[in-house]
């Protein structure tokens, strides 16, 4: 009994030692040379592995940065400028500041604005709905409300409002990784500049039908009337295919277009409430579309 015990201990110890030596030699012989900088860079990454940078994960991004020794065209949307500065410091290169972005839902076809023309009873998934029909309203460009964006978001930053059936973005949580943009089959979600003090002006509509058709389908639709294009002093607005688009790089947030839009399709968010007396005559009708225009969050 005692000897069995002793023999077992001895044999296992000798085996263990032998294998340890073998492992040591093998590890020496087949050592993979890897830049230790990769580990350092990876440690500075947020570790979300969301793929927002276009690489398979944080490790792959770190590898790509270290190997190419340049940060051109590389950006971690989750970590933002702070992380990119650290990465640049580790690599000894400089990096350009990028304006922070945020996901913007360009549809305001809420249940109140858009009448339902049919009722869908199939699987709740935008991808499936989009393959079957144009949507349960007369607007075939608008949000289907299936929540594919919500399911794609790793940060809990986008949620479909159960009352309006339109997704809403939590600006503090949104990292602009672009997962929702890729998930939306209608291409409604866009990454836009977050703007100074988070203030932004954008067209909350994707409808490319002619004015009358669009208006009939949704009371908040862009009807392509070009009033905003004419009033914009900075040339930031273009109207193509009956749909207005505001270039966020040119927009100076004057909000003249917001006041001019007859359907309230242009949204201005995070601005303080306007003073009671309008400063310019153009701003006078601002009171009418105000409820839509001053929604604190889209």
Partner 1 sequence: MRRTFSMGGVHPCDCKISADSAIEIFPLPQRMYISMSQHLGAPAKPLVQKGDKVKAGQLIGASAGFISANIHSSVSGTVAAVEPYADLAGNPVMHVVVDVEGDEWEESIDRTSDVVREIKLGPAEIIKRIADCGIVGMGGASFPTHVKLSPPPGKKAEFLIINGAECEPYLTSDYRLMVEYPEEVLLGARIMMKALGVTKGYIGIEDNKPAAIEAMRRLTASSYTEIKVVPLKKKYPQGGEKQLIDAVTGRKVPSMGLPIDTGVVVQNVGTSYAVYEAVQKNKPLFEGVMTITGQCLGGQHNFLVRTGTTFDRILEYVGGVPQTAAKIISGGPMMGKAVSNLSAATVKSSSSLLLLTEEQTRRRAEGECIRCGKCVEACPMGLEPYLLNKLSRAGRMEDLEEHKVYDCIECGCCMFTCPAYIPLLDYIRTGKADVMRIMRSRPKK
Residue 134 vs 295, nearer CB to partner 1: 134
Q: What angle do CA 102, 106, 108 make, to 5 degrees?
A: 125
The sign of the torsion formed by the CA atoms of 40, 41, 44, 49 equals negative
Binding mask 105-144 vs partner 1 (x if CB under 8 A, - otherwise)? ------------xx--xxx-x-xx--xxxxxx-x-x----
DSSP secondary structure code for residue 116 in this structure:
B
Q: Beta partners for 167?
A: 160
In the complex, minimum distance from the CB of residue 117 to partner 1, in angstroms, rounded to a whole number: 7
Q: How far is the CB of 182 from partner 1 (least distance, A)?
A: 11
| C-beta of 110 vs 137, nearer to partner 1 | 137
Check if the beta carbon of residue 253 is closer than 8 Å to that of residue 210: no
Query: What is the phi-psi region of residue 164: left when phi exceeds 0, alpha when psi lies from -120 to 50, beta otherwise?
Result: alpha
Residue 102 CB neighbours (<10 A): 22
Site string for partner 1, 220-259 (x = CB under 8 A): ----------------------------------------
Quick check: helix, strand or coil at residue 276?
coil
Nearest CB to partner 1, comparing residues 81 and 208: 208
Specify the residue, 70 or 123, whose C-beta has the smaller distance to partner 1: 123
Task: Please identify, using beta-carbon distances, which residue of 42 and 136 lies nearer to partner 1.
Answer: 136
Q: Write each residue from 137 to 166 as x if it is in contact with partner 1 (CB under 8 A), else as -, in one continuous string.
A: -x-x--------------------------
Helix axes 80-91, 58-68, angle to 10 degrees: 40
**Contacting positions for partner 1 (CB under 8 A):** 117-118, 121-123, 125, 127-128, 131-136, 138, 140
């Amino acid at each position: 009994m005692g000897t069995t015990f002793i023999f077992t201990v001895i044999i296992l110890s000798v085996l263990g030692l032998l294998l340890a030596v073998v492992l040591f030699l093998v590890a020496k012989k087949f050592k993979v040379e890897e830049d230790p900088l990769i580990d350092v860079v990876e440690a500075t990454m947020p570790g979300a592995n969301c793929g927002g940078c276009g690489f398979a994960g944080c490790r792959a991004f770190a590898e790509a940065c270290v190997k190419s020794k340049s940060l051109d065209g590389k950006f971690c949307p989750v970590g933002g400028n702070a992380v990119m500065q650290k990465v640049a410091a580790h690599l000894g290169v400089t990096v350009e500041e990028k304006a922070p972005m945020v996901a913007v839902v360009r549809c305001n076809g809420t249940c109140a604005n858009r009448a339902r023309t049919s009722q869908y009873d199939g699987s709740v998934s935008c991808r499936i709905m989009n393959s079957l029909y144009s949507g349960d309203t007369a607007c075939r460009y608008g949000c289907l409300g299936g929540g594919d964006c919500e399911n794609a978001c790793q940060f809990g930053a986008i949620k479909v409002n159960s009352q309006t059936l339109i997704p809403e973005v939590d600006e503090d949580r949104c990292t602009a990784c672009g997962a929702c943009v890729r998930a939306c089959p209608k291409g409604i979600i866009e990454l836009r500049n977050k703007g100074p003090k988070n203030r932004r002006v954008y067209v909350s509509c994707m409808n490319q039908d002619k004015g009358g058709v669009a208006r009939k389908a949704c009371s908040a639709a862009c009807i392509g009337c070009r009033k905003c294009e004419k009033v914009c002093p900075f040339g930031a607005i273009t109207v193509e295919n009956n749909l207005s688009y505001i270039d966020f790089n040119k927009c100076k947030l004057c909000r003249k277009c917001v006041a001019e839009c007859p359907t309230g399709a242009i949204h201005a968010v995070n601005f303080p409430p306007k003073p009671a007396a309008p400063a310019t005559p153009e701003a006078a009708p601002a009171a009418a579309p105000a409820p839509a225009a001053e929604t604190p969050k889209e």
